Amino acid sequence: MRIRRKQLMGIFLSAALAAGSILVPVSAKEKTDVTDLLKVKNRTEYNKGRKAAGKNQAEIHVKKYRSIGEMPGEEGYKYSSSWQGKTVKIYADQSGLLVIGGESEDMADACGTLYDASGKEVKEYQKEGLLMKVVSAGTVYSLKLPEKFRSFTVEADLMEDHQKVLRKNDSYVQTATGGYFYHEFTLKKRSMAMLPILPFTDQKLSYNIQRKTKAGWKMLSKTKTADDDYEKALSRSVYGLAKGNYRAAVKGKTGTPYLIGYIPETVVKKYKTKKSKAKKITLESFQTDLYTDTERASRWYRISRKTAKKKRYIEISTSMNSGKLKFTIYKKGRKKPLKIYKLSGQKERKYRLKHGAGTYYIKVSKIGKNTNGVYSIDYL
Protein backbone atom coordinates (compact mmCIF):
# COMPACT_ATOMS: atom_id res chain seq x y z
CA MET A 1 0.00 0.00 0.00
CA ARG A 2 1.74 3.12 -1.24
CA ILE A 3 0.88 6.19 0.78
CA ARG A 4 2.61 9.56 0.69
CA ARG A 5 2.63 12.13 3.45
CA LYS A 6 -0.08 14.23 1.76
CA GLN A 7 -2.30 11.16 1.72
CA LEU A 8 -1.78 10.60 5.44
CA MET A 9 -3.13 14.06 6.18
CA GLY A 10 -5.90 13.55 3.64
CA ILE A 11 -6.96 10.34 5.34
CA PHE A 12 -7.09 12.01 8.72
CA LEU A 13 -8.94 15.07 7.43
CA SER A 14 -11.42 12.71 5.81
CA ALA A 15 -11.92 11.07 9.18
CA ALA A 16 -12.39 14.47 10.83
CA LEU A 17 -15.04 15.47 8.32
CA ALA A 18 -16.72 12.08 8.49
CA ALA A 19 -16.88 12.34 12.28
CA GLY A 20 -19.48 15.07 12.00
CA SER A 21 -21.43 13.58 9.11
CA ILE A 22 -21.07 9.81 9.13
CA LEU A 23 -24.44 9.35 10.80
CA VAL A 24 -26.17 12.71 10.58
CA PRO A 25 -28.76 12.79 7.76
CA VAL A 26 -28.87 16.17 6.03
CA SER A 27 -30.35 17.53 2.82
CA ALA A 28 -29.41 15.92 -0.48
CA LYS A 29 -27.19 18.85 -1.44
CA GLU A 30 -25.28 18.79 1.84
CA LYS A 31 -25.13 15.05 2.48
CA THR A 32 -21.55 13.83 2.82
CA ASP A 33 -20.49 10.60 1.16
CA VAL A 34 -17.70 8.96 3.17
CA THR A 35 -16.45 7.25 0.02
CA ASP A 36 -15.96 10.62 -1.64
CA LEU A 37 -14.12 11.93 1.40
CA LEU A 38 -11.71 9.02 1.19
CA LYS A 39 -10.64 9.73 -2.37
CA VAL A 40 -7.30 11.14 -1.26
CA LYS A 41 -5.14 9.84 -4.10
CA ASN A 42 -6.10 12.43 -6.69
CA ARG A 43 -2.83 14.18 -7.49
CA THR A 44 -4.47 17.25 -9.05
CA GLU A 45 -6.49 17.85 -5.90
CA TYR A 46 -3.41 17.55 -3.72
CA ASN A 47 -1.10 19.63 -5.84
CA LYS A 48 -3.54 22.51 -6.14
CA GLY A 49 -2.12 25.53 -4.33
CA ARG A 50 0.85 23.66 -2.87
CA LYS A 51 4.50 24.63 -3.09
CA ALA A 52 7.61 22.48 -3.01
CA ALA A 53 9.80 22.47 0.10
CA GLY A 54 12.87 22.50 -2.16
CA LYS A 55 13.92 22.08 -5.80
CA ASN A 56 16.82 20.12 -7.30
CA GLN A 57 18.57 19.68 -3.95
CA ALA A 58 21.53 17.31 -3.89
CA GLU A 59 21.08 16.78 -0.13
CA ILE A 60 17.96 16.57 2.01
CA HIS A 61 18.32 16.93 5.78
CA VAL A 62 15.08 15.54 7.13
CA LYS A 63 13.25 17.50 9.84
CA LYS A 64 11.66 15.73 12.80
CA TYR A 65 7.98 16.17 13.69
CA ARG A 66 5.88 14.95 16.59
CA SER A 67 2.73 14.51 14.51
CA ILE A 68 1.30 14.97 11.04
CA GLY A 69 -0.50 18.07 12.28
CA GLU A 70 2.86 19.74 12.95
CA MET A 71 4.08 19.23 9.39
CA PRO A 72 4.03 22.15 6.96
CA GLY A 73 1.89 21.80 3.85
CA GLU A 74 4.72 21.58 1.33
CA GLU A 75 4.47 19.25 -1.63
CA GLY A 76 7.90 17.68 -1.12
CA TYR A 77 11.23 18.04 -2.91
CA LYS A 78 10.89 18.57 -6.67
CA TYR A 79 13.40 17.50 -9.32
CA SER A 80 13.44 18.50 -12.99
CA SER A 81 14.31 16.24 -15.90
CA SER A 82 17.94 17.43 -15.76
CA TRP A 83 18.27 15.22 -12.67
CA GLN A 84 17.52 11.98 -14.52
CA GLY A 85 19.74 9.18 -13.16
CA LYS A 86 21.40 11.42 -10.54
CA THR A 87 21.62 10.63 -6.81
CA VAL A 88 20.11 12.53 -3.87
CA LYS A 89 21.49 12.07 -0.35
CA ILE A 90 18.92 11.88 2.46
CA TYR A 91 20.15 12.51 6.03
CA ALA A 92 18.37 11.73 9.30
CA ASP A 93 20.23 13.94 11.78
CA GLN A 94 18.01 12.68 14.63
CA SER A 95 16.60 9.30 15.57
CA GLY A 96 12.98 8.50 14.74
CA LEU A 97 10.68 6.93 12.19
CA LEU A 98 12.02 7.86 8.76
CA VAL A 99 9.60 8.04 5.84
CA ILE A 100 11.02 8.23 2.30
CA GLY A 101 8.86 8.17 -0.83
CA GLY A 102 9.69 8.79 -4.47
CA GLU A 103 7.28 9.27 -7.34
CA SER A 104 7.46 10.40 -10.93
CA GLU A 105 4.75 12.85 -11.92
CA ASP A 106 4.41 11.29 -15.39
CA MET A 107 5.53 7.65 -14.93
CA ALA A 108 3.64 5.95 -12.10
CA ASP A 109 6.02 2.98 -11.82
CA ALA A 110 9.20 5.09 -11.74
CA CYS A 111 10.20 5.56 -8.10
CA GLY A 112 14.00 5.42 -8.27
CA THR A 113 16.38 3.10 -6.40
CA LEU A 114 17.22 3.52 -2.71
CA TYR A 115 20.54 2.47 -1.16
CA ASP A 116 21.71 2.41 2.46
CA ALA A 117 25.05 3.78 3.73
CA SER A 118 26.88 0.57 2.72
CA GLY A 119 25.63 0.85 -0.84
CA LYS A 120 23.17 -2.03 -0.48
CA GLU A 121 19.89 -1.72 -2.32
CA VAL A 122 16.91 -1.31 0.03
CA LYS A 123 14.46 -3.99 -1.13
CA GLU A 124 11.64 -2.68 1.07
CA TYR A 125 11.61 0.60 -0.86
CA GLN A 126 11.72 -1.06 -4.25
CA LYS A 127 8.35 -2.77 -3.71
CA GLU A 128 6.26 0.41 -3.71
CA GLY A 129 8.60 3.38 -3.69
CA LEU A 130 8.18 3.83 0.05
CA LEU A 131 10.39 3.26 3.08
CA MET A 132 9.07 3.55 6.65
CA LYS A 133 11.75 2.55 9.13
CA VAL A 134 13.00 3.44 12.60
CA VAL A 135 16.53 4.83 12.30
CA SER A 136 19.22 6.19 14.59
CA ALA A 137 20.73 9.68 14.39
CA GLY A 138 23.24 10.02 11.55
CA THR A 139 21.54 7.52 9.21
CA VAL A 140 22.12 8.25 5.51
CA TYR A 141 20.31 6.94 2.43
CA SER A 142 21.02 7.55 -1.25
CA LEU A 143 18.16 7.76 -3.70
CA LYS A 144 19.09 7.32 -7.35
CA LEU A 145 16.41 8.99 -9.41
CA PRO A 146 14.93 7.20 -12.45
CA GLU A 147 16.72 7.37 -15.79
CA LYS A 148 13.68 8.94 -17.41
CA PHE A 149 11.09 11.40 -16.09
CA ARG A 150 9.84 14.93 -16.66
CA SER A 151 9.25 15.75 -12.99
CA PHE A 152 10.02 13.77 -9.84
CA THR A 153 8.99 14.31 -6.21
CA VAL A 154 10.78 13.03 -3.11
CA GLU A 155 8.92 12.91 0.22
CA ALA A 156 11.23 12.73 3.24
CA ASP A 157 10.01 13.12 6.82
CA LEU A 158 11.07 12.02 10.28
CA MET A 159 8.44 11.21 12.91
CA GLU A 160 8.79 10.93 16.68
CA ASP A 161 7.90 7.30 17.37
CA HIS A 162 6.03 5.64 20.28
CA GLN A 163 3.86 8.54 21.37
CA LYS A 164 2.39 7.82 24.80
CA VAL A 165 -0.12 10.70 24.75
CA LEU A 166 -2.36 11.59 21.79
CA ARG A 167 -3.57 15.13 21.20
CA LYS A 168 -7.10 15.59 19.90
CA ASN A 169 -7.64 16.33 16.21
CA ASP A 170 -4.15 15.18 15.32
CA SER A 171 -2.60 12.03 13.86
CA TYR A 172 0.66 10.14 14.21
CA VAL A 173 2.73 7.69 12.20
CA GLN A 174 4.04 5.07 14.61
CA THR A 175 5.60 1.58 14.64
CA ALA A 176 4.61 -1.53 16.59
CA THR A 177 6.91 -2.83 19.34
CA GLY A 178 6.12 -6.55 19.25
CA GLY A 179 4.03 -6.38 22.42
CA TYR A 180 1.24 -3.98 23.29
CA PHE A 181 2.03 -0.28 23.16
CA TYR A 182 -0.40 2.13 24.80
CA HIS A 183 -1.47 5.51 23.39
CA GLU A 184 -3.41 7.48 26.02
CA PHE A 185 -5.97 10.24 25.53
CA THR A 186 -8.48 12.13 27.66
CA LEU A 187 -12.07 13.16 27.03
CA LYS A 188 -13.41 16.10 29.03
CA LYS A 189 -17.01 15.50 27.95
CA ARG A 190 -19.30 12.70 26.74
CA SER A 191 -18.31 12.32 23.11
CA MET A 192 -18.41 10.51 19.85
CA ALA A 193 -14.75 9.73 19.23
CA MET A 194 -13.17 8.55 16.02
CA LEU A 195 -9.95 6.65 16.56
CA PRO A 196 -8.69 5.41 13.19
CA ILE A 197 -5.86 2.87 13.31
CA LEU A 198 -4.52 1.95 9.85
CA PRO A 199 -1.52 -0.30 9.08
CA PHE A 200 0.75 0.57 6.15
CA THR A 201 1.91 -2.97 5.36
CA ASP A 202 0.42 -6.44 5.04
CA GLN A 203 1.62 -7.27 8.56
CA LYS A 204 -1.25 -7.92 10.97
CA LEU A 205 -1.96 -5.29 13.57
CA SER A 206 -4.35 -5.86 16.48
CA TYR A 207 -5.81 -3.29 18.87
CA ASN A 208 -8.41 -2.58 21.52
CA ILE A 209 -9.62 0.49 23.40
CA GLN A 210 -9.57 0.65 27.20
CA ARG A 211 -11.11 2.97 29.81
CA LYS A 212 -9.41 3.76 33.11
CA THR A 213 -11.48 2.76 36.15
CA LYS A 214 -10.77 2.57 39.88
CA ALA A 215 -10.09 -1.16 39.45
CA GLY A 216 -7.69 -0.61 36.55
CA TRP A 217 -8.01 -0.56 32.76
CA LYS A 218 -11.23 -2.00 31.31
CA MET A 219 -11.50 -3.16 27.69
CA LEU A 220 -14.41 -1.58 25.81
CA SER A 221 -14.43 -4.07 22.96
CA LYS A 222 -12.88 -7.31 21.82
CA THR A 223 -9.41 -7.10 20.33
CA LYS A 224 -9.74 -6.34 16.61
CA THR A 225 -7.53 -6.58 13.56
CA ALA A 226 -6.72 -3.23 11.94
CA ASP A 227 -7.88 -2.90 8.33
CA ASP A 228 -5.81 -1.15 5.64
CA ASP A 229 -9.00 -0.30 3.74
CA TYR A 230 -9.59 3.37 4.57
CA GLU A 231 -13.38 3.27 4.42
CA LYS A 232 -13.66 0.12 6.54
CA ALA A 233 -11.14 1.47 9.03
CA LEU A 234 -13.16 4.66 9.52
CA SER A 235 -16.48 2.85 9.86
CA ARG A 236 -14.99 0.64 12.60
CA SER A 237 -13.33 3.48 14.48
CA VAL A 238 -16.40 5.24 15.94
CA TYR A 239 -16.81 5.01 19.73
CA GLY A 240 -19.35 6.34 22.20
CA LEU A 241 -17.29 7.39 25.21
CA ALA A 242 -18.05 8.98 28.57
CA LYS A 243 -15.85 11.64 30.14
CA GLY A 244 -12.62 10.03 31.34
CA ASN A 245 -9.17 8.66 30.54
CA TYR A 246 -8.63 6.14 27.75
CA ARG A 247 -5.90 4.34 25.89
CA ALA A 248 -5.50 2.47 22.62
CA ALA A 249 -3.54 -0.76 22.98
CA VAL A 250 -1.81 -1.57 19.67
CA LYS A 251 0.13 -4.76 18.97
CA GLY A 252 2.05 -5.90 15.90
CA LYS A 253 5.36 -7.21 14.64
CA THR A 254 8.23 -4.95 15.68
CA GLY A 255 8.68 -2.14 13.17
CA THR A 256 5.23 -2.45 11.55
CA PRO A 257 4.18 1.14 10.68
CA TYR A 258 0.65 2.41 11.30
CA LEU A 259 -1.41 5.59 11.48
CA ILE A 260 -3.29 6.53 14.66
CA GLY A 261 -5.16 9.63 15.80
CA TYR A 262 -8.34 10.66 17.56
CA ILE A 263 -11.12 13.14 16.90
CA PRO A 264 -13.68 13.87 19.67
CA GLU A 265 -17.09 15.40 19.04
CA THR A 266 -19.15 16.34 22.12
CA VAL A 267 -22.67 14.86 22.10
CA VAL A 268 -25.16 16.33 24.57
CA LYS A 269 -27.81 13.98 25.99
CA LYS A 270 -31.17 14.74 24.36
CA TYR A 271 -32.99 11.43 24.81
CA LYS A 272 -35.82 10.47 27.21
CA THR A 273 -35.98 7.17 29.11
CA LYS A 274 -39.77 6.99 29.52
CA LYS A 275 -42.38 6.35 26.81
CA SER A 276 -44.67 9.00 28.31
CA LYS A 277 -41.92 11.61 27.81
CA ALA A 278 -40.58 10.34 24.48
CA LYS A 279 -38.38 12.78 22.56
CA LYS A 280 -40.25 14.13 19.53
CA ILE A 281 -38.72 13.92 16.05
CA THR A 282 -40.42 16.19 13.54
CA LEU A 283 -40.78 15.54 9.81
CA GLU A 284 -37.58 16.02 7.80
CA SER A 285 -35.51 16.11 10.98
CA PHE A 286 -33.39 13.62 12.87
CA GLN A 287 -32.04 12.75 16.29
CA THR A 288 -28.45 11.59 16.80
CA ASP A 289 -27.06 10.26 20.06
CA LEU A 290 -24.65 7.69 21.44
CA TYR A 291 -24.37 4.92 24.00
CA THR A 292 -21.32 4.70 26.22
CA ASP A 293 -20.42 1.45 27.98
CA THR A 294 -21.61 2.99 31.28
CA GLU A 295 -25.09 3.91 30.04
CA ARG A 296 -27.82 1.28 30.43
CA ALA A 297 -31.34 2.80 30.19
CA SER A 298 -33.45 2.45 27.05
CA ARG A 299 -34.41 5.60 25.13
CA TRP A 300 -37.79 6.57 23.64
CA TYR A 301 -38.56 8.71 20.60
CA ARG A 302 -41.86 9.54 18.90
CA ILE A 303 -43.09 10.92 15.60
CA SER A 304 -46.51 12.25 14.62
CA ARG A 305 -47.83 11.35 11.19
CA LYS A 306 -50.62 13.78 10.33
CA THR A 307 -51.72 12.27 7.02
CA ALA A 308 -51.36 9.01 5.12
CA LYS A 309 -51.47 10.65 1.69
CA LYS A 310 -47.68 10.68 1.31
CA LYS A 311 -45.20 7.90 1.90
CA ARG A 312 -43.23 8.35 5.12
CA TYR A 313 -40.22 6.51 6.46
CA ILE A 314 -38.18 6.02 9.61
CA GLU A 315 -34.50 5.68 8.75
CA ILE A 316 -32.13 4.25 11.36
CA SER A 317 -28.33 4.39 11.16
CA THR A 318 -25.72 2.94 13.50
CA SER A 319 -21.97 3.04 13.83
CA MET A 320 -21.27 0.66 16.71
CA ASN A 321 -17.80 -0.25 17.84
CA SER A 322 -18.95 -3.02 20.13
CA GLY A 323 -22.21 -4.88 20.83
CA LYS A 324 -25.60 -4.24 19.25
CA LEU A 325 -28.51 -1.84 19.49
CA LYS A 326 -32.14 -2.92 19.34
CA PHE A 327 -34.67 -0.61 17.67
CA THR A 328 -38.34 -1.41 18.24
CA ILE A 329 -41.00 0.50 16.31
CA TYR A 330 -44.56 0.73 17.73
CA LYS A 331 -47.76 2.52 16.79
CA LYS A 332 -49.86 4.09 19.52
CA GLY A 333 -52.80 1.86 20.37
CA ARG A 334 -51.05 -1.37 19.29
CA LYS A 335 -49.22 -3.62 21.74
CA LYS A 336 -47.41 -5.68 19.14
CA PRO A 337 -44.30 -4.04 17.62
CA LEU A 338 -44.44 -3.13 13.94
CA LYS A 339 -40.75 -3.82 13.38
CA ILE A 340 -37.61 -4.79 15.31
CA TYR A 341 -34.05 -4.15 14.11
CA LYS A 342 -30.94 -5.47 15.87
CA LEU A 343 -27.96 -3.63 14.41
CA SER A 344 -24.20 -3.84 14.95
CA GLY A 345 -21.31 -2.11 13.22
CA GLN A 346 -22.13 0.46 10.55
CA LYS A 347 -25.64 -0.29 9.30
CA GLU A 348 -28.64 1.55 7.91
CA ARG A 349 -32.28 0.46 7.75
CA LYS A 350 -35.33 2.19 6.30
CA TYR A 351 -38.86 1.34 7.49
CA ARG A 352 -41.93 2.52 5.59
CA LEU A 353 -44.87 3.58 7.76
CA LYS A 354 -47.79 1.51 6.44
CA HIS A 355 -50.36 1.94 9.21
CA GLY A 356 -51.80 5.36 8.47
CA ALA A 357 -51.77 8.59 10.43
CA GLY A 358 -51.04 8.63 14.15
CA THR A 359 -48.22 8.54 16.68
CA TYR A 360 -45.32 6.13 16.29
CA TYR A 361 -42.72 5.27 18.91
CA ILE A 362 -39.12 4.07 18.56
CA LYS A 363 -37.51 2.37 21.53
CA VAL A 364 -33.71 2.08 21.52
CA SER A 365 -31.99 -0.40 23.86
CA LYS A 366 -28.57 -1.97 24.31
CA ILE A 367 -27.60 -5.58 23.71
CA GLY A 368 -24.35 -6.28 25.58
CA LYS A 369 -22.72 -4.58 28.57
CA ASN A 370 -19.87 -2.97 26.67
CA THR A 371 -21.99 -1.79 23.74
CA ASN A 372 -20.85 1.65 22.62
CA GLY A 373 -21.22 3.74 19.50
CA VAL A 374 -23.48 6.19 17.75
CA TYR A 375 -26.96 6.01 16.25
CA SER A 376 -29.29 8.30 14.33
CA ILE A 377 -33.08 8.24 13.73
CA ASP A 378 -34.46 10.19 10.79
CA TYR A 379 -38.13 10.90 9.97
CA LEU A 380 -38.56 11.28 6.21
Q: What is the mean pLDDT of residues 162-179?
A: 92
Mean pLDDT of 25-33: 32
Strands 151-159 and 64-65: parallel
By CB neighbour count within 10 A (0-12 exposed, 13-18 middle, 19+ buried), where does 368 fall? middle
Residue 40 pLDDT grade (very low, low, confident, very high; cuts 50, 70, 90): very low
* 21-30, 49-58, 125-134, 212-221: the lowest-pLDDT one: 21-30
pLDDT at 74 over 80: no
Classify strands 238-241 and 346-352 as parallel, antiparallel or unpaired.
Answer: unpaired
The pLDDT of residue 105 is 79
Q: Give the C-alpha distances (Å, rounded to integers) separating 220 from 7, 181, 246, 368.
A: 30, 17, 10, 11
In the three-class reduction of DSSP (H, G, I as helix; E, B as strand; rest coil), residue 168 is classed as coil
Give me the pLDDT at residue 230, please.
66
Most confident range, picked from 32-41, 44-53, 297-306: 297-306
* Per-residue pLDDT, 2: 45
Q: What is the arithmetic mean of pLDDT over 6-23?
A: 44
pLDDT(90) > 90:
yes
Hey, how many other C-beta atoms are within 10 angstroms of the C-beta on 328? 17
Strand partners, 193: 239, 264
pLDDT bracket for residue 37 (50, 70, 90): very low
CA distances from 286 to 54, 190, 303, 315 (A): 49, 20, 10, 9
In this predicted structure, the answer to whether residue 235 has a pLDDT above a threshold of 80 is: no
- Whole-number mean pLDDT of the chain? 83
What pTM value is reported for the model? 0.82
pLDDT of 12 > 80? The answer is no
d(CA 127, CA 137): 25
Looking at residue 47, its pLDDT comes to 38
Report d(CA 229, CA 1) in Å as an integer: 10
Q: Is the pLDDT of residue 304 over 90?
A: yes
pLDDT greater than 90 at residue 188 = yes
Asked if residue 142 lies in contact with residue 89, where contact means CB atoms within 8 angstroms, the answer is: yes
- Mean pLDDT within 32-57: 47
Residue 259: band (very low, low, confident or very high) from pLDDT cuts 50, 70, 90: confident
